[in-house]
Each structure stands twice: as C-alpha cells, then as structure tokens.
C-alpha cells in the first residue's frame, strides 16, 4: 500500500473517531498536524534516498567512463599515438 493510501486511511479513522466521540476537535487538529509533519518527513527521507540512488548510478557511470578512457589510452600508446 502506498504511503498516500495509508495516510488517507488513517485520516478516515480519525474522522470516524471524531464521529464516535472518541476524539474532540482539538485532539483531531493536533493529530492532523502531527500526521502532516510525519508525511513531510517521510517525503524528505524518500527524496534523499532517491538522490543517493542517483548518486550511486552516477558513480558507476563515472567508473565505466574512466575504465573506457584507460583502455583507449593503452591502445593509443600501443599505436605510439600521444594525446
């Protein structure tokens, strides 16, 4: 289940709790503020995770480029070409 679905389901439970008289509006407001803060923290964490993954793939690409460059330099030296 996606985070948005989970948070939506939780909000629905909060609404039900208010309807049943288990929560008053002040408690509901406080819980909704905390829920929004939690959503934002999860979003930032997910974005940071994606940046890390992208960074890892960039490092891998750079390593491949360096490897190809080194091979090309070896071939040039073997053919007595200087760059």
Between 30 and 51, name the one with better pLDDT.
30
Q: Give the 3-state DSSP-derived string for 60-74, with helices as H, strands as E and coil as C.
A: HHHHHHHHHHHHHHH
Angle made by CA atoms 73, 75, 80, in degrees to the nearest 5: 90
| Burial class for 21, CB neighbours closer than 10 Å (0-12, 13-18, 19+) | exposed
Whole-model pTM over 0.85 = no
- Segment 46-68, tens digit of pLDDT: 888 888 877 778 778 888 888 88
Look at residue 70 in the predicted model and tell me its pLDDT: 86
For residues 32 and 62, give the distance between their C-alpha atoms in angstroms, rounded to a whole number. 45
For residues 11 and 25, give the distance between their C-alpha atoms in angstroms, rounded to a whole number. 13
């Amino acid at each position: 289940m996606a985070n948005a679905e989970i948070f939506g389901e939780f909000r629905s439970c909060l609404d039900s709790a208010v309807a049943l008289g288990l929560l008053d509006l002040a408690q509901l407001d406080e819980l909704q503020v905390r829920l929004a803060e939690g959503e934002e923290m999860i979003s930032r964490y997910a974005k940071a995770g994606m940046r890390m993954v992208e960074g890892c793939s960039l490092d891998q690409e750079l390593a491949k480029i360096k490897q190809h460059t080194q091979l090309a330099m070896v071939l040039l030296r073997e053919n007595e070409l200087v760059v």
